[in-house]
Chains A and B, each alone.
Chain A
Amino acid sequence: MVRGHRTACLSILLSLLFCVSFLAAGAPTVEARIGFASAVVPRLYAPVRITVSGLEETIAGSLRIVQYVGVLSEDPAEVTIELTSGTIENQTYETSIPIYDPLNPIEIVLRDGAGATLVAQELNFRLFMRSAPFPLVCESAVDLGGSEIRVGVNELPWEWWAYEAVDSLWLGGIQTQRPATDAITRWILSGGSLVLFSGSDFYKYDPIFLKDVFPVAEPTLEVAADGATFIAGRPPDDAEMALQRDDGTPLLYTRSLGAGSVAFVSMRAEELSEDELRMIASRVRPAQLLSMASASTTLHGEIRVPRPNFLIAPLIVIAMIVALAVSWRLRTRGLRTDEPARRSAVAVVVGVAMIASVFSGFYTNRTKQLVELYQCNTILDVQASVGCRILSHTLFAPGYPLDAEMSRVRESVPAYPLIRTARRAVFDSSATPDGLVLSLAAGESRQLRAYADSRGILDLRIEGDGALIENRLETPLTAAYVIHEGALYRIDKVPAGSTTSVRLEGGLRVWSLRGIDMFRYSDALKVVESAFRFRSGSWLIAVVDETSIRSGVQTEEKVRDAHFYVVQGDLG
Chain B
Amino acid sequence: MKESGYSAGRGSFQAYMWVLVLAGVALVFSMPSATFVRELLASPFRRPSPTVFFATYLFVFTMFALNRGAAAVPNRIAGLSGLRTAIGQVLLGQLLLSPYLVYVRIILLPRSQPAIALVALYAVTVGLFCAIVGYAIELWGTTRGSHTTVHRYAFGVLYLGAPLLFLLPGSPSEFASILSPHAAFPRLLAGGSWIEILSIYLIPACASVLLLILTRIASARYRHAAS
Contact = CB atoms under 8 A, between A and B. Distances in A.
B17 interface: yes
Contacts of B84: none
A361 B6 contact: no
Interface string B175-218: 00000000000000000000000000000000000000000000
A437 B170 CA distance: 32
B6 A307 contact: no
B40 A304 contact: no
Interface string B103-117: 101111111000000
Contact of A370 (B100, B103, B108): B108
Interface string B81-109: 00000000000100110111011011111
A320 B99 contact: yes
B24 A320 contact: yes
A257 to B, nearest CB: 36
Nearest to B38: A301
Given A324-B16, A360-B103, A301 B34 contact: no
Interface string B29-63: 00111111111110010011000000000000000
Given A324-B17, A399-B47, A556-B110, A307 B103 contact: no
A320 B96 CA distance: 7
B6 A300 contact: no
Interface in A321-339: 321, 324-325, 328, 331, 335
Interface string A358-396: 011101100011101010000000000000000000001
Contacts of B40: 305, 374, 396, 398
Contacts of A370: 48, 106-110
B222 interface: no
A317 interface: yes
B110 A369 contact: yes
Interface string A283-327: 000000000000000001111110110101110110111001100
Given A321-B21, A370-B109, A357 B102 contact: yes
B78 interface: no
Residue from A304, A331, A370 whose CB has the most chain B CB atoms within 10 Å = A370
A396 B41 contact: yes
Nearest to B42: A301
A110 to B, nearest CB: 38
Contacts of A308: 31, 106
Contacts of B132: none
A442 to B, nearest CB: 9
A314 B13 CA distance: 20
A210 interface: no
B167 interface: no
Given A304-B35, A304-B36, A399-B48, A349 B21 contact: no
A398 to B, nearest CB: 5
B158 interface: no
Contacts of B110: 369-370, 551, 556
Interface residues of B, number: 41
Majority-rule SS of A interface residues: helix
B28 interface: yes
A249 interface: no
A375 to B, nearest CB: 10
A364 B111 contact: no
Nearest to B99: A356
A125 B39 CA distance: 43
A96 to B, nearest CB: 31
B216 to A, nearest CB: 29
B20 interface: yes
B98 A353 contact: yes
Contacts of B139: none
Contact of A302 (B16, B38, B95): B38
The prevalent SS among residues of B at the interface is: helix
Nearest to A555: B109
Contacts of B137: none
Contacts of B1: 335
A556 B27 CA distance: 23
Given A308-B106, A364-B103, A443-B44, A317 B28 contact: yes
Contact of B99 (A307, A353, A398, A554): A353
A445 interface: yes
A313 B99 contact: no
Contacts of B17: 321, 324-325
B81 to A, nearest CB: 20
Given A302-B38, A364-B103, A556-B109, A307 B44 contact: no
A364 B13 contact: no
A363 B104 CA distance: 11
Nearest to A365: B106
Which of the listed residues B1, B107, B108 has the most CB atoms from chain A within 10 Å of its own CB? B107
A445 B37 CA distance: 11
Contact of A312 (B39, B98, B103): B103
A368 B106 contact: yes
Contacts of B24: 313-314, 316-317, 320-321
Contacts of A120: none
Interface in A214-252: none
A522 B43 CA distance: 25
Contacts of B6: 331, 345-346, 349
A359 to B, nearest CB: 8
A514 B105 CA distance: 42
Contacts of A321: 17, 20-21, 24
Contact of B103 (A310, A316, A400, A556): A316
Contact of A307 (B13, B34, B92): B34
A345 B5 CA distance: 13
Contacts of B105: 364, 369
Contact of B111 (A345, A368, A554): A554
B102 A361 contact: yes
Contacts of B34: 305, 307
Given A302-B38, A321-B20, A398-B40, A360 B33 contact: no
A279 B30 CA distance: 65
Interface of B: 1, 6-7, 13, 16-17, 20-21, 24-25, 27-28, 31-41, 44, 47-48, 92, 95-96, 98-100, 102-103, 105-111
Given A349-B92, A551-B110, 6 more contacts: A301-B38, A305-B39, A313-B28, A321-B17, A346-B6, A363-B106
The 6 closest A-B pairs by CB, nearest first: A301-B38, A317-B24, A356-B99, A360-B103, A360-B102, A364-B106
5 contacts: A307-B34, A314-B24, A316-B24, A356-B99, A370-B109
